[in-house]
Amino acid sequence: MTSNNKWIDITSDIQYSPDLFCIPPHYNKDIKSVLIPYGFVKDRIARLANDIVNDANGPLNVCCILKGGYQFFSDLVAEIKKIRTINNSSVPLTYDFIRVKSYINTQSSGNVKISLSEEELRKFEGKDILIVEDLVDTGKTMIELLKYLKQYNPRSIKVACLLIKKRENQDYPYIPDYVGFSIPDEFIVGYALDYNEHYRDLDHICIINDEAKKRFSI
Ligand code: 5GP
């Protein structure tokens, strides 16, 4: 595990046995390893919230990307509100929820579906938007989403993303403004990230084994 100025690098040599953590019994047989324990995720989010508040120039319209971004959104907003109480900083928040789907099994479908009504999108005009996303892999989802949202003339759009995937010998295709961790090229679940809708209710960010992938494949 190393660090640069922008995020924490989680490398594939550090993976923890699930036996060292509390795993819901219904997932006991499925977890190959714990990649990022929940407590570590929360500690990193506290700092991201701090950075976001320091950079804010007024009210923020925070857009949660569903479903995978909901846990990150919830913890991030809670931390921003905590800073507000401690520092008396005044960043009013409004919320939007955008449903985006691009993955089937462990593969990007390449076909990004975005759901938000025209009426809701028009309200973005002149606002500072903070997109809260779980993970950037190929970057296709975020690049498409940003292109789409920019048509509605927000004053600014920034992206907070908990995880970015590092593919071997490849550059990051897209780098968000705020990043929690860089992770190796593995399919991960937990902390609201799913495998065909399973494992969202697991707190730690984990790698599942091949039997689990087979069992819940569609
Ligand atoms: P991209 O378009 O950047 O390839 O993929 C972004 C989206 O795909 C993320 O928002 C996330 O929902 C999903 N995704 C990418 N990699 C993973 C992964 O390892 N696990 C899970 N559960 N979802 C992933």
Domains of the chain: 37-191 (3.40.50.2020)
- Contact predicate 171/4, CB 8 Å: no
d(CA 57, CA 210): 47
Identify residue 200 by its one-letter amino acid code.
R
pLDDT digits (tens, 9 = 90+) for 75-110: 999 999 988 766 666 789 999 999 887 655 565 555
What pLDDT is recorded for position 172? 85
Ligand 1 in reach of 184 Cβ (< 6 A): no
Which of 3, 2, 6, 4 has its CA nearest to residue 179? 6
The phi and psi torsions of 116 (rounded to 5 degrees) equal: -160, 135
Active site residues: 137
CB atoms within 10 A of CB 54: 11
- Contact predicate 96/61, CB 8 Å: yes
Ligand 1 in reach of 193 Cβ (< 6 A): yes
Identify residue 138 by its one-letter amino acid code.
T
What pLDDT is recorded for position 102? 63
The whole-model pTM stands at: 0.91
Ligand 1 in reach of 140 Cβ (< 6 A): yes
Identify residue 18 by its one-letter amino acid code.
P
Residue 1 has pLDDT above 60, yes or no: no
Residue among 131, 135, 196, 200 whose CB has most ligand 1 atoms within 8 A, to mutate: 135
Residue among 99, 134, 140, 159 whose CB has most ligand 1 atoms within 8 A, to mutate: 134
What pLDDT is recorded for position 177? 96
Question: Looking at the predicted complex, does its ipTM rise above 0.95?
Answer: yes
Task: Indicate which residue's Cα is closest to atom 15 of ligand 1.
Answer: 137
Ligand 1 in reach of 194 Cβ (< 6 A): yes
Torsion, Cα 49 51 57 58, to 10 degrees, reads 10
* Strand order across the beta sheet in which 188-189 lies: 31-36, 205-208, 188-189
Q: Which residue is it, tokens 């809701």?
A: 120
- For residue 94, CA distances in Å to 35, 37, 58, 101, 142 come to 32, 29, 12, 23, 21
pLDDT digits (tens, 9 = 90+) for 27-64: 989 999 999 999 999 999 999 999 999 999 889 999 99
d(CA 205, CA 190): 5
